[in-house]
């Protein structure tokens, strides 16, 4: 069907990215926003904007009624769902069609066919697509799942049948962990997807995660656009994606592509989709799931094919045939993408929130950065912590890899902690550089927090020392100091403090930094550190958590409280479960103690560092 105005039912970088192509093709665009996104760049970019509710996703981006109301209010006649949120929601696609809106995605029946992992797997087995051995039956009792898991044999994956993005998923390698894995996967699945149904799959050890991009039109044409390797993952969420896969040759690509096309044909697919496989070392591959939407990592496919996949989506939704046939496809070079997250990779990938104080995306040959941020924007706890995608394309894999490393070094975010330094270490690791990384990569290699160099400490002290003299720009251009007497400055990073003597160096090399009250954020050698001036504060005496107070590590919502006043707890025991950025975090006791008070209730939204539980510190000796 024809349409002229496209509403993008999403936010951030993907909303902005979709609207760029839609505008270039002559469509008018409509952005929707929650209160948290009122000042976001995608909102400013759109031709029209409609507020759809408060910040929680259930009252905004996941509300079908509010999205449809926004379409009606703006006069939009097409809806692009982006990825995440309602993009794979059968009811949403059906509601759009019922409202006379072109849904820029597959038909509701195709979404339904692949929306439940158990049903999808049964359908793929019937279609002759290779599948991982497992259990996807109707008996969902914990006892039966335990029995079936032991029948399959460990290691086994416990997965949410309705899920995706690594939520509701647990790898079980020891029998002693099985019961807890089933319980926590079900709880997280119910919270994230509204369904606690689980499936079990034999874990393919040291495999690669390889996915095939497929495209289908309404005229019976189905093709694949090659593969992407997404093996480097944390918490079953992708960290690095590349195309083509270092492990796939032309013959394997042909066989995997044929299986992916068969999967798409089996469900009457239309539009962009991705069929995900596990690839063993023996080149045996197994169907995992089909994502009935555009993928986060679609830019690497665009880079090596020279095609705009969003443009293809719009053309297919308008009833056109696919722009190319399978035989017309050619691949050019190699592309690698990393996901830049607001998270502390050296503290269990803990999501971070806060204001963006400085943003400098890299530029250069073969570099592309998709983002949805700007200086002054706040990364909130309500949404996924991904803030940008950094992509590099080159004639060879090595050229793409080195360009991406350099792009990350030049891309600076000051404010919330990000995983940028961690990403550079992954890309520079010899195993990844050699193209040998599998899904076991992050599990078998340690990436401890780097030591903060003396140069970092001295630079931070010098910057804080001089801030009282004048107001400096973000990038220091050099200064001279005529004060011969050293000035003591005491700085802290977490629980570590150092007393430094600042005499004023002749010159400080230009570096990105930001001063925020008593804090200074310094970016040096691709490592961004936030220092706090403690010169006039009393010295720290207790380690974090050892004072008997359990604090929130980030903004979030309390979803479970496992203790009450008077309870005796042991070190490592889970006291509170906090949900932030769609992930549940188990907050544990730092010592053996007795609970004095619980300061929160289930369902309560709490801020970073808020005290949740107070324990009697003197009980630690018992």
Nearest to 581 by CA among 556, 609, 606: 556
Instruction: Give SS3 for 561.
Output: strand
Query: Which residues lie closer than 8 Å to 517 by C-beta, 6 or more apart?
Result: none
Crossing angle (nearest 10°) for helices 397-410 and 420-428: 160
| 417: phi then psi, degrees, rounded to nearest 5 | -65, 140
- Decide: residue 435, CB within 10 A, 0-12 exposed, 13-18 middle, 19+ buried: middle
Nearest to 214 by CA among 292, 132, 162, 310: 292
As a whole number of angstroms, the distance between CA 579 and CA 596 comes to 24
Q: Which residues of 401-422 are buried (b: 16+ CB within 10 A; e: fewer)?
A: bbbbbebbeebbbbbbbbbbbb
Computed over its alpha carbons, how large is the radius of gyration of the chain? 26
Cα angle: 384, vertex 425, 401; to 5 degrees? 90
Nearest to 571 by CA among 501, 621, 514: 621
Report the chain's terminal Cα–Cα distance, integer Å.
72
Catalytic machinery residues:
293
Nearest to 130 by CA among 6, 282, 15, 272: 282
Instruction: Give SS3 for 254.
Output: helix
Q: Which residues of 144-173 are buried (b: 16+ CB within 10 A; e: fewer)?
A: ebbebbeebeeebbbbbbbbbbbbbbbbbe
Instruction: Give SS3 for 230.
Output: strand
**Using the 8-state DSSP alphabet, how is residue 333 labeled?**
S
| 95: phi then psi, degrees, rounded to nearest 5 | -65, -35
Give the strand pairing for 593-598 and 568-569.
antiparallel
Query: Which residues lie closer than 8 Å to 272 by C-beta, 6 or more apart?
Result: 105, 213, 214, 215, 293, 294, 298, 309, 312, 313, 316
As a whole number of angstroms, the distance between CA 180 and CA 167 comes to 15
């Amino acid at each position: 069907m024809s349409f002229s105005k496209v509403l993008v039912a999403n936010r951030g970088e993907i909303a902005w990215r979709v609207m760029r192509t839609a505008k270039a093709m002559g469509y008018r665009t409509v952005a929707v926003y929650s209160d948290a996104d009122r000042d976001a760049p995608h909102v400013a970019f759109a031709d029209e904007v409609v507020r759809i509710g408060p910040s929680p996703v259930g009252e905004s981006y996941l509300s079908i009624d509010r999205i449809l109301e926004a379409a009606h209010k703006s006069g939009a006649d097409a809806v692009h769902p982006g990825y995440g949120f309602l993009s794979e929601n059968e009811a949403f696609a059906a509601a759009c069609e019922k409202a006379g809106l072109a849904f820029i995605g597959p038909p509701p029946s195709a979404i339904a066919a692949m929306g439940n992992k158990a049903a999808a797997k049964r359908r793929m087995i019937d279609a002759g697509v290779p599948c991982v051995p497992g259990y996807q039956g109707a008996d969902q009792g914990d006892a039966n799942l335990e029995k079936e898991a032991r029948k399959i044999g460990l290691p086994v994956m416990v997965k949410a049948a309705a899920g995706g993005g690594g939520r509701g998923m647990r790898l079980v390698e020891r029998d002693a962990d099985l019961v807890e894995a089933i319980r926590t996967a079900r709880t997280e699945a119910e919270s994230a997807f509204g369904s606690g149904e689980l499936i079990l799959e034999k874990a393919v050890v040291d495999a690669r995660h390889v996915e095939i991009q497929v495209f289908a039109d309404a005229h019976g044409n189905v093709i694949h656009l090659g593969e992407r390797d997404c093996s480097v993952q944390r918490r079953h969420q992708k960290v690095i994606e590349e195309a083509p896969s270092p492990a796939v040759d032309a013959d394997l690509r042909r066989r995997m592509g044929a299986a992916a096309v068969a999967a798409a044909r089996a469900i009457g697919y239309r539009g962009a989709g991705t069929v995900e496989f596990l690839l063993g070392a023996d080149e045996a591959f197994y169907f995992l799931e089909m994502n009935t939407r555009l993928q986060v990592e679609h830019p690497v496919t665009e880079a090596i094919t020279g095609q705009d996949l969003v443009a293809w989506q719009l053309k297919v939704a308008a009833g056109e045939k696919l722009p190319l046939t399978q035989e017309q496809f050619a691949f050019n070079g190699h592309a690698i993408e990393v996901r830049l997250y607001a998270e502390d990779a050296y503290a269990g990938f803990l999501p971070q929130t806060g204001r963006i104080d400085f943003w400098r995306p890299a530029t250069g040959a073969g570099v592309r950065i998709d983002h949805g941020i700007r200086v002054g924007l706040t990364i909130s706890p309500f949404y996924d912590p991904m803030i940008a995608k950094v992509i590099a394309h080159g004639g060879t894999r090595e050229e793409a890899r080195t360009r991406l490393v350099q792009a990350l070094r030049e891309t600076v975010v000051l404010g919330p902690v990000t995983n940028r330094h961690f990403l550079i270490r992954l890309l520079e690791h010899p195993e990844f550089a050699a193209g040998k990384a599998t899904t076991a990569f992050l599990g078998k290699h340690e990436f401890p927090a780097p030591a903060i160099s003396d140069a970092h400490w001295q630079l931070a002290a010098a910057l804080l020392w001089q801030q009282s003299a004048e107001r400096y720009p973000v990038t220091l251009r050099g200064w001279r100091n005529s004060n011969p007497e050293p000035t003591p400055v005491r700085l802290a990073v977490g629980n570590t403090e150092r007393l430094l003597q600042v005499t004023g160096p002749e010159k400080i090399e230009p570096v990105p930094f930001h001063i925020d009250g008593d804090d200074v954020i310094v970016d040096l050698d691709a490592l961004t550190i936030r220092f706090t001036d403690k010169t006039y504060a009393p010295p720290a005496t207790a380690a974090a958590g050892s004072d008997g107070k359990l604090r929130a590590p980030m903004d979030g919502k309390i979803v479970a409280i496992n203790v009450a006043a008077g309870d005796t707890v042991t070190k490592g025991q889970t006291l509170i479960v906090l949900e932030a950025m769609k992930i549940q975090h188990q907050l544990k006791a730092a010592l053996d103690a007795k609970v004095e008070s619980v300061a929160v209730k289930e369902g309560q939204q709490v801020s970073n560092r808020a005290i949740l539980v107070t324990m009697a510190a003197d009980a630690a000796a018992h």
